[in-house]
Amino acid sequence: MSIVKFENNGIRFDLQLIASWIEPGSKVLDLGCGDGNLLNFLKKQKQVEGTGIEKEEEKVAGCIAKGLSVLQGDINTEVLDFPDKAFDYVILSQTLQQVFEPDQLIHSILRIGHNGIVSFPNFSHWQVRLQLLTKGYAPVTPQLPYQWYDTPNIRVITIKDFERFSKQVGFKIIKSAAINTQDEDKRGKLITYLPNLRATYGIFQIRQ
């Protein structure tokens, strides 16, 4: 088990890990950028040229107001209009589990970006397994905090699923990390032993 320490920048551990993979000065697209925390962080720490896509008007307006370049729209359609290899990195952070056509989106990500970075909550974490096994209800965890009837998550994905998915859809995994997070995901550590059982999130860097 290796412990990765980041300075407490106020942003989530998984986002800090993603940021550590990004080359300074590169062009980055963040799909589903929310409040723009990652983009803002990358802009300040890595001097990236960042763009975000976000659905909610309020979040979009907040991002633009703080000086980020953000487009309001649906990630599945917005990715279609960018030229080939327009970005060095296209980030899909904790959104894959909400995507209707994941293979189409991954295809688009790798068309418009040299690299994709994809992260998602690991559905085979032991807590998830244990809940289903012992209680028999759809699992509710800090990483998957929704009831079955109000969840935006329409896909259940495990770390092993994504690895198999890469072979089926035909893209390369360049780098991967399994992490376990605490304190509302502010702190965390890398998991190398039994990651599919012990990690709360999987993060992958992918290429065509």
Partner 1 sequence: MGLVEKRFFTFAEPPHGMVLECGTRLGPITLAYETYGTFKGNNAVLILHALSGDSHAAGYYSPEDPKPGWWDMMVGPGKGIDTDKYFVICPNILGSCMGSTGPSSIIPKGDRAYGLDFPVVTIGDMVMAQKKLLDYLGINKLLSVIGGSIGGMQVLEWAVRYPEMITSAIPLATTTKHSALAIAFNEVARQSIMADPNWNGGDYYSGAKPSLGLAVARMIGHITYLSDESMRLKFGRRLQDKNDFSYNFDADFQVESYLRYQGTKFVERFDANSFLYITKAADYFDLGLQHGDGSTVRAFSKTRAKFLVVSFTSDWLYPTYQSKAIVRALKKNGIDVSFCEIEAEWGHDAFLLPSERLTALIKGFLDRVYREI
Give me the residues that bind partner 1 (CB under 8 A), please: 49, 51, 57, 60-61, 64-73, 81-83, 86
Nearer to partner 1, 11 or 68 (CB): 68
Closest to partner 1 by CB, 29 or 128: 29
Confirm if 141 and 165 have CB atoms less than 8 A apart: no
Q: Do residues 165 and 99 lie in contact, with contact meaning Cβ atoms separated by under 8 Å? A: no
Number of Cβ atoms within 10 Å of the Cβ of 45: 16
Which is closer to partner 1, CB of 23 or CB of 74? Answer: 74
> Which region, left, alpha or beta, applies to residue 186 given φ > 0 means left and ψ of -120 to 50 means alpha?
alpha
DSSP 114-162: EEEEEEEE-TT-HHHHHHHHHT-SPP--SSS---TTT-S------HHHH
Minimum CB separation of residue 31 from partner 1 in Å reads 14
Smallest distance, partner 1 to C-beta of residue 150, A: 23
Q: By C-beta, is 80 or 130 nearer to partner 1?
A: 80
CB–CB of 44/68 below 8 Å? no
Give the nearest distance from C-beta 101 to partner 1 in angstroms: 20
CB of 30 to partner 1, least distance (A): 13
Owner of token pair 């976000």: 54
> Residue 2 CB: number of other CB atoms within 10 A?
7
Q: 88 vs 161, which CB is nearer to partner 1?
A: 88
Q: Minimum distance from CB of 27 to partner 1 (Å)?
A: 9
Closest by alpha carbon to 101, among 122, 82, 117, 80? 80
